[in-house]
Amino acid sequence: MDLFIWFDDEGNIVSYQLAYNKPHDEKAIVWNKKSGFEHLSVDDGTRSGKHPGSPLLVPDGIADSARLVSLLKENAGELDPSLRNFIVSGIEAHFKQDDPS
């Protein structure tokens, strides 16, 4: 997993990207304060017989929030608990309605 967090000048979170399923079938949860959540796949740019292109984020549909939360908690390491809780609560609240379980 990779987690990128962007803050404003006052230290408030304005956006984050949580990448998971690395290195194969990579996906990402992206949250932005203005536009909300997106669940995306990473198109790694690999094309048979051609030079690889730049990776792109493309729409992916339903996210398994229970699995994501579990992965995040397992891999949070030294992540500040308030940041972890902010991310976990957002994922749970937004993606619960789409959960396949």
Query: Mind listing the pLDDT tens digit for each residue in 7-31?
Result: 999 999 999 999 999 888 899 999 9
Which two tokens mark 85? Answer: 């809780």
- Give residue 53's domain range: 2-98
If one counts the domains in the chain, the total is 1
pTM of the predicted protein model:
0.81
Per-residue pLDDT of 28-60, as tens digits, reads: 999 999 999 999 998 877 778 888 788 888 889
Strands (E) located in 2-95: 2-7, 13-20, 27-32, 36-43, 56-59
Residue closest to 16 by CA, chosen among 64, 80, 67, 70: 80
Helices (H), 43-80: 65-75
Distance of alpha carbon 66 from the chain centroid: 13
